[in-house]
Amino acid sequence: MRRSVKVLLLLLAPAIVLLVLNAIAVSNETKEASVNVEGAELVQTPNGAVQVLVEGDNRGSPIVLVHCYTCSMRWWDEMAPLLADKHEVIRVDLLGHGGSDKPSTGYSMEDQASAIAQALASLGVSDATVVGHSLGGTVATALAAQSPELASRVVDMDQAPDNSYGELDFTARLAFTPVIGQAMRRMVEIAPDSVVRSQFEQAFAPDFNIASGFEDPDQVVEDLQEMTYTSFVEASDGEDSYTEDTPLDQRLAEAGVPLLVIFGAEDQIYDAEGAVEPYRSVPGARVELIEGVGHSPNVEAPERVAALIEDFAGQADAAERAEKRANQQRKARRQAAKRAARAKRQAQKSKQGK
């Protein structure tokens, strides 16, 4: 018996060593930014280089699109052109994702928001409607808290106030387990695309054909492969820490910016009905549940989502124009009152002179 145990240990030892060495190598991996979307550019920020794509009519109010966890700006491919007819649309790859830098540290929500703020400021973008999908919704919240002059309106798409409203499936949770997670990360590079793609099923409605949602049917696979294990873990941890400290509904209420919440009614990650309820208490918030859609409405139902965002941005623009007109009218009345007062004083002086 003892002999068989020794043989088993001798057989397992090399595998264990390989697993440990792989964990060390994968955990320390970084990647430099590179443009991987036609027309995009890299914008340097103190937090790292960020890939940005600017499209549409720069005479319209800006709309900033921030993607989900393990995703990229490609998740907006079907929706962005629908908004670009009337708006300047700015897509951003978060740090650790897509074509942006994958550093060894700096994945907190504040760091991500700071990088986007720096990129937008360098592009001259302000007073934007910031649309965040899932993780992007958390980053959009942090951006509104840090820089309300940049993120003056927020659209939260399928991001619950915190993680108490749902959880990932067993396989997804296993990916964060030390050593096992790093081994799974290595498998992503060699496993068939169909196997990797199947791990994204929870991010869509149960019957949605993932490949049909993208120009490249393997887009979700490529986006995951673009990440390092460090960015994979640290981005998730950063989000968890941010929402555990203070839920998003409370943060958005404190930010005081106009808010639109969009959720797919068939979200398989969060309980949609439960997740949207706290947002209804945010002053002035508007909540929309889309039937027949899962966790990724921007991919599953881009026309319906674009219409909601267009209406929200348009109402905000109209309200701002009305406020601007009201301010101009108040200013004109004050100036008229001053002119009348000066005329009255001059008339009194003339009368006294006589």
pLDDT digits (tens, 9 = 90+) for 52-77: 999 998 889 999 999 999 999 999 99
Local confidence band at 314 (pLDDT 50, 70, 90 cut-offs): confident
CB–CB of 186/26 below 8 Å? yes
**Is the pLDDT assigned to residue 22 strictly greater than 70?**
no
The verdict on domain 27-315 having CATH code 3.40.50.1820 is: yes
CB–CB of 30/104 below 8 Å? yes
The SS3 call for residue 45 is strand
Q: What is the pLDDT of residue 8?
A: 41
Span 236-261, pLDDT tens digits: 999 999 999 999 999 999 999 999 99
- Which residue, among 266, 261, 271, has the nearest Cα to 296 in the 3D structure? 266
- The residues, ordered by sequence, that sit 6+ positions from 75 with a Cβ below 8 Å of its Cβ are 67, 68, 133, 214, 219, 223, 296, 298, 299
- The residues, ordered by sequence, that sit 6+ positions from 97 with a Cβ below 8 Å of its Cβ are 67, 70, 71, 72, 223, 226, 227, 231, 235
CB–CB of 58/222 below 8 Å? no
Mean pLDDT of the chain: 85
The maximal CA–CA distance of the chain, rounded, in angstroms, is 127
**Is the pLDDT assigned to residue 16 strictly greater than 60?**
no
Span 195-232, pLDDT tens digits: 788 889 999 999 999 999 999 999 999 999 999 999 99
In the chain, what are the domain boundaries? 27-315
CA torsion, ordered 258, 264, 268, 273, to nearest 10 deg: 70
Q: What is the pLDDT of residue 183?
A: 54
